[in-house]
Amino acid sequence: MNQPLFLQPIFQERIWGGTALKEQFGYPLPSENTGECWAISAHPNGPSIVKNGPFKGKTLIELWDNHPELFGNQKEQVFPLLTKILDANADLSVQVHPNDDYADKHENGELGKTECWYIIDCKPGAELIYGHTAKSKEELVSLIEAGSWDQFLRRVPVAPGDFFYVPSGTIHALCEGTLVLETQQSSDTTYRVYDYDRFDHQGNKRELHLQKAIDVSTVPHHDAKQNVHIESKPGVEITSFIKEKYFSVYKWEIDGRAEFTQDQPFLLVSIIEGNGKITINNESNSIVKGDHFILPTQTEQFTIEGQLKAIVSHI
Ligand code: ZN
């Protein structure tokens, strides 16, 4: 298989979701509270389905299990990454995720969750919660127990194009008015610390997971190191945001015609702006904002033409 595997997104309703995924990407949404587009997923809570080619109709889970050659014959049991687009129409709960060891022990063998965010769009003055002020576990516990959220939580301003690396153990939350592309480990484990005392549509408060959150939170918080660099090649400017244990993430800004060599086992590509086409072995596919695809190992050389922006990741 030397062609892109285009994937059908899965949508998840959330109390903090809205309609930006339809307004911005034209997706047919199941409700007015759609919070998450699971764009490239092999997680059992929402696996992607292939839209084209000989594997049309198969899930990404089936491909990972039965066609490891597409992914360079990795040893991991499960497809390791998950790409989402999140519409934070309201504040998300303040939360923290476990690392691999803790999730394996306490969550039935789930992966931990290290994630990162590319801010696609946000309203003026938007913020997010990234880290906290406690200097010791004792201080963390007492600030949480006292509900001293203004004192405890660290708010940072955000602008379109910003990038944040969120290692497991980081207390964080997306806040109202942000549209984010998230690249993360393939995990659905979240420990909620604070949910603004909100009620869901059934009139219930969502469960908090204070003890687990306290267990896994990194104290004191350190801002993750980032080493962003930009490289210009014919037809493309490549911004490298992060190269870490679980993933590397880039932005490709294509203007004209750019040639690429596949030097990874596989690439995850999400088109976040513009349109164009991708050509491999004389076969072309048009690509447009909102498309998500995987370039398997066998796509050795490829050309992208057009005016577009993509977020690209690999293990
Ligand atoms: Zn998170």
In this prediction, residue 202 carries a pLDDT of 83
Instruction: Give whole-number Cα distances, 225 to 73, 168, 222, 240, in Å.
Output: 31, 14, 9, 13
Q: Looking up tokens 């350190």, which residue turns up?
A: 222
Give the residue-averaged pLDDT of 280-302.
Answer: 96
**Closest by CA position to 87, among listed 6, 9, 192, 169:** 9
**Cβ-contact 310, 254 below 8 angstroms:** yes
| Fold observed for domain 229-314 | Jelly Rolls (2.60.120)
In this predicted structure, the answer to whether residue 201 has a pLDDT above a threshold of 80 is: no
In this predicted structure, the answer to whether residue 88 has a pLDDT above a threshold of 80 is: yes
In this predicted structure, the answer to whether residue 9 has a pLDDT above a threshold of 90 is: yes
Helix spans in the chain (H):
20-25, 60-66, 100-106, 137-146, 149-152, 210-216
Distance 115 CA to ligand 1 centre (A): 7
Distance 278 CA to ligand 1 centre (A): 32
**Cβ-contact 274, 308 below 8 angstroms:** yes
**Cβ-contact 287, 270 below 8 angstroms:** no
Q: Report CA torsion sign: 244, 289, 181, 307.
A: positive
Give the residue-averaged pLDDT of 14-35.
Answer: 93
Residue 72 banded pLDDT, cuts 50, 70, 90? very high
Per-state percent for the chain, helix, strand, coil, to nearest 5: 15, 45, 40
Mean pLDDT of the chain: 95
In this predicted structure, the answer to whether residue 258 has a pLDDT above a threshold of 80 is: yes
Distance 139 CA to ligand 1 centre (A): 23
Copy the structure tokens of residue 227. Answer: 């080493």
DSSP characters over 24-69:
HH----SSTTEEEEEEE---TTS--EE-SGGGTT-BHHHHHHH-GG
Distance 204 CA to ligand 1 centre (A): 22
Counted residue by residue, the chain has a size of 315
| Fold observed for domain 5-216 | Jelly Rolls (2.60.120)
Catalytic residues, which ones?
A: 192
Q: Report CA torsion sign: 101, 102, 108, 114.
A: negative
What is the four-CA torsion angle of 114, 118, 124, 130, rounded to 10 degrees? Answer: 20
- Domain 5-216 identical in fold to domain 229-314: yes
In this prediction, residue 15 carries a pLDDT of 87
Give the residue-averaged pLDDT of 173-177.
Answer: 95
All structural domains of the chain with their residue ranges: 5-216, 229-314
Distance 172 CA to ligand 1 centre (A): 7
In this predicted structure, the answer to whether residue 260 has a pLDDT above a threshold of 80 is: yes
Distance 190 CA to ligand 1 centre (A): 7
**Cβ-contact 250, 309 below 8 angstroms:** no
Strands of 94-96's sheet in order across? 153-157, 127-132, 172-174, 94-96, 191-194
